[in-house]
Structures are given as structure tokens and as C-alpha cells.
């Protein structure tokens, strides 16, 4: 299962309800997100 990138459908979304799919050593995997990993943030931010 991969994360559904809601920002591709509506770039103005600022929040959504989501579920944690998996917790890893380097982060968490969500079922959906409004986070756009190439739009700023910290160097360690990424999309799986």
C-alpha cells in the first residue's frame, strides 16, 4: 500500500484525516497526505 498524495488533486488542502500504516526507523507511512515533499521543509523530508 502506498500513500495517496492528496496535494495532486487539490494543492490548497491544509489538513486531512489519515491513518498510520507503518512506523519505521526513519519516519511513518500514512495512507494519505497533503504534504508535498519537494515544496520546502527540511532536507530529510521525503515521500516513499
d(CA 14, CA 23): 23
Residue by residue, pLDDT tens for the chain (48 residues) are 688 999 889 988 899 999 999 999 988 999 999 987 766 556 665 665
d(CA 18, CA 27): 15
Look at residue 2 in the predicted model and tell me its pLDDT. 83
Look at residue 25 in the predicted model and tell me its pLDDT. 94
HSE of 48, CA atoms in CB hemisphere, 13 A:
14
Look at residue 21 in the predicted model and tell me its pLDDT. 95
32 closest CA partner among 47, 22, 18, 13: 18
Exposed, middle or buried: residue 33 (CB in 10 Å: 0-12, 13-18, 19+)? Answer: middle
Look at residue 29 in the predicted model and tell me its pLDDT. 92
Amino acid at each position: 500500500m502506498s500513500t495517496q498524495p492528496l496535494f495532486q488533486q487539490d494543492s490548497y488542502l491544509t489538513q486531512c484525516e489519515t491513518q498510520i500504516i507503518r512506523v519505521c526507523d526513519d519516519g511513518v507511512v500514512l495512507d494519505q497526505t497533503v504534504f508535498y515533499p519537494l515544496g520546502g521543509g527540511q532536507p530529510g523530508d521525503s515521500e516513499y
